[in-house]
Structure 1
Amino acid sequence: MTNATSPATTPSSRPVGSRLSRVLRTPVGIVGLGLLTLVLLLAVFAPILWGDRADAVDTDNILAGPSAEHWVGTDNLGRDLFYRVLVATRLSITLALLATALGTAVGLILGTAPLLLGRRAGRLVTALVNILVAFPGLLLVLFFAVVFGVGAQGAVLAIGLAGAPSFARLCQTLVAGVADLDYVAAARIAGVNRFRILFRHVLPNIAEPLVVNVTISAGGVLLSFAGLSFLGLGVQAPAYDWGRLMQDGLAGIYIHPLAALAPGIMVIIAGLAFNLTGEAIAGALGVSPVTGVTPALRTPTGRTPGAELAHDAGTEDLVLDVRDLHVAFPGAAGPIRPVRGVTFTVRAGEAVGVVGESGSGKSLTALSIAQLVEEPGRVDAHRLAFCGEDLLAAPGDRRGAAERDRRLGTSLAVVFQDPMTSFNPAMRIGSQLAEVGRHHQGLDRRSAAARAVDRLRAVRVRDPERRARQYPHEFSGGMRQRAMIGMGLMGSPRLIIADEPTTALDVTVQSQVLALLQDVRREQGAALLLISHDVSVVSDVCDRVLVMYAGRVVEDLPTADLHTRARHPYTRALVAAVPDMATDLDAPLATIPGQPVDPSAVPAGCAYAARCPLATALCREQDPVLVTADGGAGRVACWHAGEPVLAGDRPTAEEATA
């Protein structure tokens, strides 16, 4: 499905060189990178330069104190402790990095398991991580050290596995913040497999806080490793690291304290190098070092999944056929039904608008059509067909599912309302458009890139070759909306669903986007389903208007009749609430008293009765059915359709709220 659809974590868009320069401009960054460079240089070159001197035995200088010849003194074999401390840098740093890498790898696996394994298996992994996080880290280290045995290998496994749960918890939090965003949901619905979603859409957007956390935790791992070796559970003789040297020097600490203090000082310096560098990177990137969709499972009632539905007469040109659509979510007091029995059709080339207040079910109806309602939502309908294909029927096999995804991906385009959150911020605009062509149309990389540039040109994006190489943040709001429409045009859409496409845009850009939708509709011959709370926008663009209230369509009428022949009191109230050039500037603006209905507590009878100036006892007892209006111009669901509203009939705000 071609969807242009927001992240809690947005990676920095600055080049790597710019970010590094920001780190180097801070005192913390300068000190941290300087110390880290020194430590890494010692790890590489110290054994080469001073390895022989560190192992040279001098029985004439056993346990000697600091001197001009031996700056830190000697050990019980007369070996120079200063050089041994320098040479031990390689093993200490290597083992710490190995343990950090192991903890990071295991943490990533555990942290991304809920995304890869699905909801049920993911819950088990999450529960395991929660249990392990509850144990103190030191206790886990000692437990694993006993399990894997003493020695460097056992210490690496113990420290790495003990550090994995906390990293997994951070990873789970970050993944959860990105996995529910629109562009990830769109990729999932489009048939992109979970591993590709993880590595292409999720991990790039959480990489920075993870890298910062790994850099900082490396200092803690180094300290833990030194502690295990000091306790005799880590590196064993004849090998030595800083912890082993501290243990050897402990016996004579009151006589020659530098023998134990020198390796301890190196542990502190190396730990500071990692921590300060991580803090500097976090500050430069604006990342906190501490914290840094599946298709809806449908259980239709009263219909057999996969059952073939015969086409009715006169439906050959139907692009969308929706009959008795219901959407439900579980609630504390029973199912909540924000969409209740919506029925309408959209024909080829037709533009249909859906209007209503927030919470009336407009967007959820569109999401149901696009199969973007997430679990635990349930979608049911007597018929939900797109281009003659029953969208609620289960595909016969995996090949059938892939074929349906391909058809939807090239025939149905969805443009959502928030342009800033509609693209993956870690990918270039052209790459995201090209991905549609490669996945759904089988184009190679070069052909897909050329098609993406052509589609950007088709939606009036200037200099499309250069723009295709830019990231979403480099586009203005209006340009992002154009690019979203261009993504929908990567195929040959039969239907474009535009959900509040002009939200947060100024009037000039709003007009341009609406004009572009009209041009696309004419040039592509596509039908348009435009969802908006703005009656004037729908009046300018659409041929027909659906008015929704409390999850139901209360009126369906031609746009030409919207301002003059609307029959439902709610429709007339929406139209009256929009000022025009003839509005009396001295009179108060028209409003609709009361509040929209809570979907979890829909009253008996007509849901609009509490706010309606024409409501009677019948309205509060029986819910009117959507029937053909007098004269055949549209449909209306109202017991008093077309009756005039007198001044004394309008309820007060208190009455409407009650």
Structure 2
Amino acid sequence: MSATTPTRPPRRGSWILHSPMALISLTVIALLLLLAVFAPPLWGVEANTPHPDQLLQPPSPEHPLGTDSLGRDILLRTLVATRLSLVMALSATLIGAVAGLLLGALPIVGGPRTQRAFSSVINTWLAFPVLLVAMLTVILLGTGATTAVLALALTMTPSFARLAQTLSARVGGSEYLAAARMMGVSKSRQFTRYIVPNIAEPVIVNVTISIGGGLLALSSLSFLGVGVQPPEYDWGRLLSEGFAQVYQQPTAVLGPGVMVVTAGIVFGMLGEAFASHMRGRGRARALEPKKLGPAPRVEGAPIPAAATTLARNAEVEPLLEVSGLTVAFPGPQGWIRPVQDVSFSIAPGEIVGVVGESGSGKSVTMMSVAQLAPAGAVVTAQRLRFAGADLKGLSQKEAGAKIGTDIGVVFQDSLTALNPALKVGTQLAEVPRVHGKASRAEAHTAAVQALDAVSIPDPERRAAQYPHEFSGGMRQRTLIAMSQIGSPRLIIADEPTTALDVTVQQRVLALLRRECEETGAAAIVVSHDIAVLAELCQRILVMYAGRIVEDVDVRLLATPELLAHPYTRALAEALPDLDTDTTKPLATIPGEPPDLSLPVIGCGYAPRCPFSTEQCRTETPGLVAHHGGRVACWNPQDGRTVTVAELEGVHV
């Protein structure tokens, strides 16, 4: 095949043709289903009609498995019993799976308290022996087919619940579910569109395997006389009736025994085939050739200084005001505070960067502002206002009503931030459907337009694809489109260029800047890379050990000697440029950040700072105005006033 020959992706389900286990099991299951449908109308009357002249006949051409004590053909009764046996097993498994799914996965949308309560129920349920639960059900409800189904469903429910609980816990901590909550997606929709599709495959595998086990369990109950009662019969009942004459006529148990074992094995084989397919699905495959669209635009624009002026202008009401923000988590030895006493404000239309080492509290701070604090976090603040609305102490529902689509979030990992079970267009359409009450067609049109606005080639076709079919850069642009589709007033971008190459980084940053300029939205961009922020932002908040240590104009980064805080200066000096002497080692910051699980006394940077004093090690500095910005340092190192004229002459 030549390199230009189109390679079509394999059709969904085509793996079955290459799996002997799947083919065999599906073929046998299909035969069983045909028997369940057609055997009762074809042979039901004959199988149930007694023949006194043919009692306990041995196998013969007319009766291949012989007859029972009433002269009825055992083979025909075995075939007719297929319907009741399968219906009971399927019903019990379905009831147990649905109940377990609701018990284990539904609490994820209900909050931590609901999760703990349901987890206690599951643990208590699992503590009871399976046989005890089944026998107790039979004692309370009496014998019969319905009772047997309910008894088996009750024994299956806790195992399905634990599986669903384990799977949904991963989804519950995902960024795409957090985004859905922030958009105001209803709890029922979160469950059906975000949780269930992402845990469906392993649940289906477990259901398939459980059907085989259910057949064996129900047959055992009927064999013991507490399941199906005469005149009804399933395979277990036929085994019980044939067991009385097994020494005189072994074929009486051969037919129903073979059917029980065969059905149990093939359902188990099908489940194992599904599981094997899921394990091997990560292998590479050829993708459908795509039409090339226009290359994404890379737009560069000088950084406007107007927003910096607005941020410092007391006459302009800030869009976001944060004062005294603290985030704490319970730990084994007390509270852990990754964010402590953080204060800042954002003006309308301003682009502000947040930089710092890993663990400095950047992402936790911004997610707390967006009402997306991690589970278990306790968020307190002296003042937390957005667009004039007080966000302190609000429930998730109340915060969603006040924020709505006014805050858009671009998460760090684009692959986990997008729901892998939904098409990209469907996810983008959530905002106009939930908040704009748009029709399905209108929402789809808006989604395609949003993809086109961020320079996604062939947006109509791309909207019908899944996130894994996008490149990393395209997924990141999709997140920007998702954050913009609701016309937000503030965008929070949490490390939007992580794991992207330099060229794609440039495109993403240019796109984010262009979107803010065209819509007038403000933006907070979190990053480890101070060079990334220097290209995009007007000012930068420098965080260290959970605190803001400096609020600085981005143009000062070009001249590190003008920076006030030693940590900010060290970050800027560690940034290489074309004039960096390659014969010398790059500048580094010695030491490590403090352990925030322990109390931090004084300035957190003091152990690594060459200018620290006794006061730095015993007293915590607060943010104070300093040369047009703010700094938290007892010994600021710039040493002189920086004039506005000097700033205007600096180009980063």
Fold match (TM-score > 0.5):
yes
Corresponding residue for residue 617 of structure 1: 614
Query: What's the CA shift string for 1:264-300, capped at 9, x where partnerless?
Result: 1110111112111121122223399xxxxxxxxxxxx
Query: What's the CA shift string for 1:465-486, capped at 9, x where partnerless?
Result: 2212221111111111111111
- 1:223 and 2:223 matched: no
Corresponding residue for residue 328 of structure 1: 328
Query: What's the CA shift string for 1:131-151, capped at 9, x where partnerless?
Result: 222333233222222222111
Q: CA offset at residue 563 of structure 1? A: 3.3
Q: Superposed, which structure 2 residues align to 1:602-613 within 5 Å?
A: 602-613=599-610
Aligned sequence identity (%): 52
Query: Is the contact between residue 21 and residue 273 of structure 2 (CA under 8 Å) also seen in structure 1?
Result: yes
Q: 2:527 aligns with which of 527, 532, 537?
A: 532
User: Secondary structure in 2 aligned to 1:335?
Assistant: strand
Query: Is the contact between residue 106 and residue 191 of structure 2 (CA under 8 Å) also seen in structure 1?
Result: no
Query: What's the CA shift string for 1:288-332, capped at 9, x where partnerless?
Result: 9xxxxxxxxxxxxxxxxxxxxxxx993534211122211112222
Query: What's the CA shift string for 1:379-423, capped at 9, x where partnerless?
Result: 22221111222221649x98xx3xx63562332111111111111
Query: Is the contact between residue 36 and residue 80 of structure 2 (CA under 8 Å) also seen in structure 1?
Result: yes
Q: Distance in 2 between matches of 1:574 and 1:394?
A: 37
Query: Is the contact between residue 112 and residue 375 of structure 2 (CA under 8 Å) also seen in structure 1?
Result: no
Q: Superposed, which structure 2 residues align to 1:60-209 within 5 Å?
A: 60-209=53-202
Q: Which amino acid aligns with 1:25?
A: H
Corresponding residue for residue 232 of structure 1: 225
Corresponding residue for residue 597 of structure 1: 594
Q: CA offset at residue 18 of structure 1? A: 3.1
- 1:641 and 2:626 matched: no
Q: Distance in 1 between matches of 2:518 and 2:109?
A: 41
Q: Distance in 2 between matches of 1:122 and 1:621?
A: 43
Q: Which amino acid aligns with 1:64?
A: Q
Q: Superposed, which structure 2 residues align to 1:514-525 within 5 Å?
A: 514-525=509-520
Q: Superposed, which structure 2 residues align to 1:264-279 within 5 Å?
A: 264-279=257-272
User: Secondary structure in 2 aligned to 1:600?
Assistant: coil
Query: Is the contact between residue 115 and residue 194 of structure 1 (CA under 8 Å) also seen in structure 2?
Result: no
- 1:578 and 2:575 matched: yes
Q: Distance in 2 between matches of 1:393 and 1:217?
A: 46
User: Secondary structure in 2 aligned to 1:322?
Assistant: strand
Query: Is the contact between residue 416 and residue 498 of structure 1 (CA under 8 Å) also seen in structure 2?
Result: yes
Closer/same/farther in 2, CA of residues 238 and 492 from structure 1, 3 Å limit: closer
Query: Is the contact between residue 409 and residue 436 of structure 1 (CA under 8 Å) also seen in structure 2?
Result: no
Corresponding residue for residue 50 of structure 1: 43
Corresponding residue for residue 304 of structure 1: none
Q: 1:245 aligns with which of 225, 228, 238?
A: 238
Q: Distance in 2 between matches of 1:416 and 1:613?
A: 36
Q: Distance in 1 between matches of 2:438 and 2:42?
A: 56
Q: Which amino acid aligns with 2:119?
A: T
Q: Distance in 2 between matches of 1:117 and 1:613?
A: 50
Q: 2:554 aligns with which of 551, 554, 559?
A: 559
Q: Distance in 2 between matches of 1:276 and 1:375?
A: 40
Q: Distance in 2 between matches of 1:643 and 1:352?
A: 22
Closer/same/farther in 2, CA of residues 91 and 203 from structure 1, 3 Å limit: same
Compare 199-208 and 186-195 and name the one that shifted more: 186-195
Q: Superposed, which structure 2 residues align to 1:435-584 within 5 Å?
A: 435-564=430-559, 565-584=562-581
Q: CA offset at residue 625 of structure 1? A: 2.0
- 1:424 and 2:410 matched: no
Q: Which has the higher contact order (CA 8 A, sep 6+)?
A: 1
Q: Which amino acid aligns with 2:190?
A: I
Q: Superposed, which structure 2 residues align to 1:385-396 within 5 Å?
A: 385-392=385-392, 394=394
Q: Which amino acid aligns with 1:417?
A: Q
Closer/same/farther in 2, CA of residues 360 and 122 from structure 1, 3 Å limit: closer
User: Secondary structure in 2 aligned to 1:328?
Assistant: strand
Q: CA offset at residue 374 of structure 1? A: 3.4
Closer/same/farther in 2, CA of residues 412 and 128 from structure 1, 3 Å limit: closer
Query: Is the contact between residue 325 and residue 341 of structure 2 (CA under 8 Å) also seen in structure 1?
Result: yes
Q: Distance in 1 between matches of 2:83 and 2:244?
A: 25
Query: Is the contact between residue 209 and residue 287 of structure 1 (CA under 8 Å) also seen in structure 2?
Result: no
Q: Paired residues, what number?
A: 600
Query: Is the contact between residue 191 and residue 405 of structure 1 (CA under 8 Å) also seen in structure 2?
Result: yes
Query: What's the CA shift string for 1:487-534, capped at 9, x where partnerless?
Result: 122122222111100001011000000011111121111212111111
User: Secondary structure in 2 aligned to 1:316?
Assistant: coil
Q: Distance in 2 between matches of 1:353 and 1:118?
A: 32
Corresponding residue for residue 291 of structure 2: none
Query: Is the contact between residue 109 and residue 190 of structure 2 (CA under 8 Å) also seen in structure 1?
Result: no
Query: What's the CA shift string for 1:323-353, capped at 9, x where partnerless?
Result: 2211112222222211111111211222111
Closer/same/farther in 2, CA of residues 377 and 484 from structure 1, 3 Å limit: same
Query: Is the contact between residue 32 and residue 82 of structure 2 (CA under 8 Å) also seen in structure 1?
Result: yes
Corresponding residue for residue 412 of structure 1: 407
Closer/same/farther in 2, CA of residues 117 and 413 from structure 1, 3 Å limit: closer
- 1:286 and 2:284 matched: no
- 1:18 and 2:15 matched: no
Query: Is the contact between residue 406 and residue 440 of structure 1 (CA under 8 Å) also seen in structure 2?
Result: no
Q: Which amino acid aligns with 1:588?
A: P
Q: Distance in 2 between matches of 1:506 and 1:337?
A: 34
User: Secondary structure in 2 aligned to 1:132?
Assistant: helix
Q: CA offset at residue 460 of structure 1? A: 1.2
Query: Is the contact between residue 353 and residue 544 of structure 1 (CA under 8 Å) also seen in structure 2?
Result: yes
User: Secondary structure in 2 aligned to 1:262?
Assistant: helix
Compare 186-195 and 74-83 and name the one that shifted more: 186-195
Query: What's the CA shift string for 1:244-281, capped at 9, x where partnerless?
Result: 11111111111111101221111011111211112112
Corresponding residue for residue 346 of structure 1: 346
Q: Which runs of 4+ in 1 moved over 6 A?
A: none
Q: Which amino acid aligns with 1:460?
A: S
User: Secondary structure in 1 aligned to 2:334?
Assistant: coil
Query: Is the contact between residue 456 and residue 483 of structure 1 (CA under 8 Å) also seen in structure 2?
Result: yes
Q: Superposed, which structure 2 residues align to 1:285-324 within 5 Å?
A: 285-286=278-279, 314-324=314-324
Q: Distance in 2 between matches of 1:117 and 1:24?
A: 42
Q: Distance in 2 between matches of 1:138 and 1:35?
A: 30
Q: Which amino acid aligns with 1:495?
A: L
Q: Distance in 1 between matches of 2:13 and 2:458?
A: 31
